[in-house]
A and B are shown apart, each in its own frame.
Chain A
Amino acid sequence: MQFTSFSFLLFAAVLLTVYYIIPGKWQWPLLLIASCFFYISAGTEYLVFIALTTLSTYATTILMDNRLKQRDVYMAAHKAEMSREEKKAYKAKIKSGNKVWMVACLVLNFGILALCKACLIDPVRTAVSGGTLSFLTVGLPLGISFYMFQSMGYVVDVYRETAKTERNPFKLALFVSFFPQLIQGPISKFNQLTPTLYAPHKFDGKAVSFGLQRMLWGYFKKLVVADRIAVAIGSLKGEEYTGIAFLVLTVFYAIQIYGDFTGGIDVTIGLAEAMGIKLPENFIRPYFSKNIAEYWRRWHISLGVWMKDCIFYPISVSEPMRKLSKASRAKFPNFGKRVPVYVASVATWFCTGIWHGFSANFIVWGMLNCFVIVVSEELMPVYAKFHDRFHLKEKKWYGGFEILRMFMLMNLIRACDLFPNVGDYFRRLGSIVTTFNFHILWDGTLMNIGLTALDYAIIFGGCLTWFVMDLLQEKGPIRERLYAKPAALRYSLIFILLVVVLLMGSYGIGYDASNFIYNQF
């Protein structure tokens, strides 16, 4: 069930109605049933994957929790007779036992994920499809990258004792499979999501209305802008489009992926919000960032947090890193102390690249991001001097310049994931400095890539509206401010947005609705 399908809207409408009719304590079981239905409608053959993740997560966390409980009981009982060292050793023993279970669970699950992703690559597909696992080669199980990361994040949290262990297997199953976030995240933390996920909710007109408004806004971005511009991206990937045309492609792609991804997330968060469930924000207007590092704190936040907590921090504070850090500090006092950070960054970006796809271009893409972030970090003092010298930070236009610089730079990096062949990407990147074909902007080239003048007008109008909305949102929550306005104005604005989506959305016969891009991860 695609978010943009009619059946999804019907499904959501029926669910919302039933959700508020039944008693509060039946709401979370209803969500579990709905999630199962949602998942089964995507294909029963994939059910085994999510069931396996749920079961292994449940078994591992219960095992670890039992050992932790045993530990607490034992420690309480033997408080007096144990020395400090004994206590420490005992605790460490329990912990290292838990670590074995955790690692086993992680290896199992990430092994499955890796196998599934590897099967998307041709040689592997051919090798595997001969055997009994041929159903693996159909495609990725729905949302596997998302529910897998969410579940494994929870396993790690239980190991670290930062999350309470869920002992009800059905509640845990709901946490793993909660359907709005199944398709493209966000990857929620257990502590963040579950308090509102399991709680009973009384009907609240304002919450439902806010949720539906957010969904509508998501459909606007997805259907009116992203899906409309998608066709041009397919065309501009062609060999003949180099130089300025490539720059145009990167900008179009920036618009499409932002609309597509945040549009989908708005539908997800909005639907959850309408049910009284609070999901973490996944984007905070990332294109207003002033550098790449900030961009990544504002784009796909839940993945960034996961990578930080589960890869970046553990690596950078690990025992080998400690030793490396000490050794490098002895040699280069200044740069040396940042060595662990950089090593951990490379590892994190490698994983982030792999997460997006098992292919060279995604790894290159990750490394490019990492490279830019590390270089900016190293050059920080130089920048600071430069800024001070010309008093740039006080100048208003400079902030705008920084945003534009970040936007263009990020666009160039991002374009890497459009070209499975890394060579193609670098050739086009190079063509920017060798091919000055500015004429393509007015010689009609842009009218031959699948967009009509009307399409351009709609896309431009859509982006402008969107930009203004983002600016307003920067200043404070739009829906709250709208809520304070007279009903006539409020309803009119929502109605206009609805009509715009209905009339200008790219959907229905004659349109090839592109899937949400993040479905494939």
Chain B
Amino acid sequence: MKKKSIAIFAAALAIGLVLLWLLQMLLVPKYMTDVREGALIAEYYEEEPNHDVVFIGDCEVYENFSPITLWEEYGITSYIRGSAQQLIWQSYYLMEETFKYETPDVIVFNVLSMKYDTPKSTGSSSQREAYNRMTLDGMRWSDSKVNSILASMTQEEREKEAMWMYLFPLLRYHDRWSELTAEDFRYWLKRDTVSHNGYLMQVGVKPLEDEHVERPLVDYEFAPSCYEYLDRMVELCKAHGTQLVLIKAPSLSPVWWDEWDQQMVAYAEENDLLYINFLNHQEEIGIDWNTDTYDTGLHLNVYGAEKLSSYFGRILSEECGVADRRSDAGLSALWAEKTAAYDAQKAELEAAYAAQK
């Protein structure tokens, strides 16, 4: 009798846990048709981890660089570990995690996030719980993820012990049951790939109209905590024999102040790093702000991204010595597939965009 009731209990517990897991899978946001950038981080794990170059950073990397172009023109294999409003400590832990899977020749980090202070300090309007989730939920569990969560939590998340909500996303998204859509059921247990090695394609065109104007700041000095994470990135790359390249994408907004640029130039010199501010190379890249942006200069569209990648690819192969892998038959076949998917989506999106117009 006793044995029987224990068996029943165990069975009930197992069924209950499976049901709760299914419920959780149903309730988490899918990021498949809307806010697709939320799906980026998780896609990395589908990849064979053997990239020559890994990009890390916010929307200024995943919207502005196209790994397909880098492959087609320079035979460089690359992946973009980008996410929306990725903050520097999140970038650091993504980098730390990346090294658990692979050791690329070059890691490229976009320095815009130097301007965002840690959540512990006050007045950081950049810190949004929704962005935290998009960067962190996709990561596999490891000490890097835990540390990244601990570094990222907002005041409200800390007060509400959000670590539990990262462990069990059901607790975070429990009230989405009233707003479930067909998308949630369609992608209940599977996901489509939304990116091309981390690149999120946009084909629309919305030209730059007015100069982006921002009010001058009182203090241009980057926060010590941001420098601290940058230092840790430098050390980490050094320890793995990987070259760290700092870049500032040519996005016109948010404004990249000269005072900031000077600090980065000095930092790169001091640490013997390559730092490229693409804003200073717009003409050589050939960016036309009438045709190459989909949101008036905040991000490049696919045409701009291809131009920028073409420009940066030359630097990577000539100055950083990243090898051309096109002679590798296996890789060629793999990338041929990727390129085909890329071209297909580009054609599809262009047709849709034309129809919409």
- Do A and B make up one complex? yes
Counting chain B CB atoms within 10 Å of each CB, the highest count among A454, A487, A503, A509 belongs to A509
Kindly report which residue of chain B lies nearest to residue A454, judged by CB atoms.
B178
Answer yes or no: A471 CB below 8 A from chain B CBs: no
Q: How far is the CA of A487 from the CA of B12 in the complex (A)?
A: 9
Counting chain B CB atoms within 10 Å of each CB, the highest count among A454, A507, A508 belongs to A508
Contact with A along B142-158 (1 / 0, CB 8 A): 00000000000000110
Answer yes or no: A7 CB below 8 A from chain B CBs: yes
Kindly report which residue of chain A lies nearest to residue B16, judged by CB atoms.
A495
Q: How far is the CA of A454 from the CA of B176 in the complex (A)?
A: 12
Answer yes or no: B175 CB below 8 A from chain A CBs: yes
Residues of B within 8 A of A5 (CB): 161
Q: B164 and A6: CB pair below 8 A?
A: yes
Answer yes or no: A63 CB below 8 A from chain B CBs: no
Answer yes or no: B315 CB below 8 A from chain A CBs: no
Q: A509 and B12: CB pair below 8 A?
A: no
Residues of A within 8 A of B20 (CB): 499, 502
Answer yes or no: A401 CB below 8 A from chain B CBs: no
Q: Given contacts A491-B16, A508-B171, A509-B156, are A503 and B177 in contact (CB under 8 A)?
A: yes
Answer yes or no: A131 CB below 8 A from chain B CBs: no
Residues of B within 8 A of A503 (CB): 23, 174-175, 177
Answer yes or no: B287 CB below 8 A from chain A CBs: no
Answer yes or no: B252 CB below 8 A from chain A CBs: no
Answer yes or no: B262 CB below 8 A from chain A CBs: no
| Beta-carbon contacts under 8 Å, A356-371 to B | none
Q: A508 and B174: CB pair below 8 A?
A: yes
Answer yes or no: A205 CB below 8 A from chain B CBs: yes
The residue from B8, B19, B165 contacting A508, defined by CB atoms under 8 A apart: B165
Q: Given contacts A495-B16, A495-B19, A499-B23, are A505 and B174 in contact (CB under 8 A)?
A: yes
Q: A509 and B161: CB pair below 8 A?
A: no
| Beta-carbon contacts under 8 Å, A456-510 to B | 487, 491, 495, 498-499, 502-505, 507-510
Q: How far is the CA of A487 from the CA of B4 in the complex (A)?
A: 11
Interface residues contributed by chain B, number (CB under 8 Å): 23
Kindly report which residue of chain A lies nearest to residue B156, judged by CB atoms.
A509
Q: How far is the CA of A504 from the CA of B23 in the complex (A)?
A: 13
Q: A509 and B157: CB pair below 8 A?
A: yes
Answer yes or no: B5 CB below 8 A from chain A CBs: yes
Q: How far is the CA of A504 from the CA of B178 in the complex (A)?
A: 10
Answer yes or no: B298 CB below 8 A from chain A CBs: no
How close is A250's CB to chain B, nearest CB, in angstroms? 28
The residue from B8, B162, B170, B178 contacting A502, defined by CB atoms under 8 A apart: B170
How close is B178's CB to chain A, nearest CB, in angstroms? 6
Q: B165 and A509: CB pair below 8 A?
A: yes
Q: How far is the CA of A487 from the CA of B11 in the complex (A)?
A: 11
Q: How far is the CA of A507 from the CA of B161 in the complex (A)?
A: 11
Residues of A within 8 A of B164 (CB): 6
Residues of A within 8 A of B174 (CB): 502-503, 505, 507-508
Residues of B within 8 A of A495 (CB): 12, 16, 19
Residues of A within 8 A of B170 (CB): 502
How close is A26's CB to chain B, nearest CB, in angstroms? 25
Q: How far is the CA of A498 from the CA of B16 in the complex (A)?
A: 10
Residues of A within 8 A of B19 (CB): 495
The residue from A205, A454, A505, A508 contacting B172, defined by CB atoms under 8 A apart: A508
How close is B136's CB to chain A, nearest CB, in angstroms? 13
Kindly report which residue of chain A lies nearest to residue B176, judged by CB atoms.
A503
Residues of B within 8 A of A510 (CB): 175
Answer yes or no: B318 CB below 8 A from chain A CBs: no
Kindly report which residue of chain B lies nearest to residue A492, judged by CB atoms.
B12
Q: How far is the CA of A491 from the CA of B13 in the complex (A)?
A: 9
Residues of B within 8 A of A502 (CB): 20, 170-171, 174
Q: Given contacts A499-B23, A503-B174, A509-B165, are A491 and B160 in contact (CB under 8 A)?
A: no
How close is A515's CB to chain B, nearest CB, in angstroms? 12
Contact with A along B300-329 (1 / 0, CB 8 A): 000000000000000000000000000000
Contact with B along A436-472 (1 / 0, CB 8 A): 0000000000000000001000000000000000000
Residues of B within 8 A of A205 (CB): 5, 9
Q: B177 and A487: CB pair below 8 A?
A: no
Residues of B within 8 A of A509 (CB): 129, 156-157, 160, 162, 165, 172
Counting chain A CB atoms within 10 Å of each CB, the highest count among B16, B156, B164, B175 belongs to B175
Contact with A along B165-184 (1 / 0, CB 8 A): 10000111011011000000
Q: A7 and B161: CB pair below 8 A?
A: yes
How close is A493's CB to chain B, nearest CB, in angstroms? 12
Kindly report which residue of chain A lies nearest to residue B13, judged by CB atoms.
A491
Kindly report which residue of chain B lies nearest to residue A487, judged by CB atoms.
B8
Q: How far is the CA of A515 from the CA of B171 in the complex (A)?
A: 19
Kindly report which residue of chain A lies nearest to residue B175, judged by CB atoms.
A503
Q: Given contacts A503-B177, A508-B171, A509-B172, are A6 and B8 in contact (CB under 8 A)?
A: no
| Beta-carbon contacts under 8 Å, B121-145 to A | 129
Residues of B within 8 A of A513 (CB): 160
Q: How far is the CA of A6 from the CA of B166 in the complex (A)?
A: 12
Residues of A within 8 A of B177 (CB): 503
How close is A497's CB to chain B, nearest CB, in angstroms? 12
List, sorted by A's number, 11 A–B pairs whose CB atoms are closer than 8 Å. Answer: A6-B161, A6-B171, A487-B5, A495-B19, A502-B170, A502-B171, A507-B160, A508-B160, A508-B165, A508-B174, A509-B160
**With contacts A6-B171, A504-B175 known, what are 7 further pairs, Cβ within 8 A?**
A491-B12, A491-B16, A502-B174, A503-B177, A507-B171, A508-B174, A509-B165
Closest 8 CB pairs of A and B: A6-B164, A491-B12, A6-B161, A487-B8, A503-B177, A503-B174, A495-B16, A502-B174
